[in-house]
Amino acid sequence: MKRSVGLKELLSGYSILYVEDEEIVRETLKDILLRKIDNIYTAENGKIGLELYKEKNPDIVITDIRMPIMDGITMSKEIKKLNPDTQIIITTAHNELDILLDTIDIGITQYLIKPIRSKQLISSLEKVADILNLKKNIDRKNKFIQNILNFQDNIILVTNGNKINTYNKAFLDFFGFQNIDEFTENYKSICEFFIEEESFFSKPKNENENWINIIIRDKIREPKVKMKNRYSKERIFIIKFANFPEIENEYIISFTDVTDLENQRLTFKTLAYRDPLTKINNRLKLDIVLEKEIDIAQKKAISLSLIMFDIDHFKDVNDTYGHDIGDSVLIELTNLIGDKLRDTDMFARWGGEEFMIVLPNSNSKLATEIAERLKDSIQIFNFTGVNRITCSFGVSELKADDSYRTFLKRVDDALYRAKSNGRNRVEEL
């Protein structure tokens, strides 16, 4: 829907701090912003940006991530400590997805992918302006509240936790109610719609407890809830609330739909832990899983084994047939191995042509048998462009006094022995 007011009017009275170390990019974006807003400050790194923020107290911060002296994430964390309500827009490149994981918990408002386009920037600033204007509108007189609330996409309620005294159209539209009476005839509180699931705030088990009082008592900051809409589709919301002016035990509550952001966060997390070529787990994910499995195995005194293998003479494959064929071999190999592992096993690319398999509840005898079967399957498989390849395997079982490093060192030594003894074989240490 086309907006009834321009961005300049939406941002009237607000100021922006723009932090970017590349001068050409900084000045170009500054010129665009000056057409839409009067008050804009710029800085070339996070340190100067933080000092400017303390001095000017801008409403909106737009910042790059990678900068000298102080990076954008560090600066954003310090700004959020000073004022958690500051709206921050992060500008980033596609290859910084792993770094973006660190920004999820900071409370970043928007993300802009470089190179930044004017339309993209304006859209993000419009969303930020909506949030800022909502907070300003909450302080206005009560007679204006209903019109303001109906203008918002968020679900907005005024309630004591049970009875809903004021609501907006988004509330009725989300649940599919024609009016508030239809809701009150069937439900006592909106918390009855909260889906019970780990990591989400849910309906109190004691029906006499007020869900808002629980959030206040337990000091839950920005609780997340999951609710189904009229089409039975689950959506994720962050709850923010404040005491309603001059009315005791009455709260104005905003349910902000963050489903897309949560899905984006999960996507970032998946990309951070996945090998881009083979689509299996990468070394970062293996480190996390292996340390956890070592801890479990040693605490519960159960077996844990590790298989390390690599492709014999893989350099010759790349030199002879080219890297495209080499990549194809890696993909076909991971598909072949992945289909033969148990659901409890964890398969990861260690690097290059080296791979690891974590085998919980498996002693060295079982792990060696598995490695032998995998070796035999590989040597008879017809790989595209090269026909046959072989792999060498090292196997080791966790010892009671092992650390992460000693466990890895031993399986690496076992692989080295397999290669030294002629390749296309399994060695156990």
Is the pLDDT at 196 greater than 70, yes or no? yes
| Integer Cα distance of 324 and 318 in angstroms | 8
Q: What is the pLDDT of residues 310-319, one digit of tens each?
A: 999 999 999 9
Domain ranges of the chain: 7-137, 142-258, 273-428
Contact (Cβ atoms closer than 8 angstroms) between residue 60 and residue 17: yes
SS3 31: helix
The mean pLDDT value for 364-393 works out to 94
Q: Which fold has domain 142-258?
A: Beta-Lactamase (3.30.450)
Residue 9 vs residues 5, 14, 125, 243: alpha-carbon distances, Å? 6, 10, 12, 29
Residue, of 257 and 248, whose pLDDT is higher: 257
Q: What's residue 132's pLDDT?
A: 84
Residue 340: pLDDT band (50, 70, 90) is very high
Residue 38 vs residues 26, 35, 136, 305, 365: alpha-carbon distances, Å? 16, 8, 19, 64, 72
What class is the 7-137 domain?
alpha beta
Q: What is the pLDDT of residues 140-174, one digit of tens each?
A: 555 676 776 778 889 988 888 888 888 899 999 99
Task: Verify whether residue 20 is a known catalytic residue.
Answer: no
Q: What's the token pair of residue 185? A: 């005839």
| Integer Cα distance of 251 and 235 in angstroms | 23
Is the pLDDT at 348 greater than 90, yes or no? yes
Q: What's residue 247's pLDDT?
A: 75
3-state helix, strand, coil in the chain (%, to 5): 45, 20, 35
Contact (Cβ atoms closer than 8 angstroms) between residue 328 and residue 386: no
Q: What ranges make up the beta strands (E) of 221-296?
A: 224-228, 234-243, 251-257
Q: What's the token pair of residue 25? A: 């990019």
SS3 323: helix
Catalytic residue (one of 96, 293, 353, 397): 353
Q: What is the pLDDT of residues 84-118, one digit of tens each?
A: 888 999 888 755 656 666 677 777 878 888 888 88
| Architecture of domain 273-428 in this structure | 2-Layer Sandwich (3.30)
Q: What is the pLDDT of residues 123-141, one digit of tens each?
A: 888 888 888 888 777 655 5
DSSP assignment string, 384-418 = TTTB---EEEEEEE--TT--HHHHHHHHHHHHHHH
* Phi, psi angle pair for 206, to nearest 5°: -90, 115
Q: What's residue 290's pLDDT?
A: 94
Give the total residue count for the chain: 429
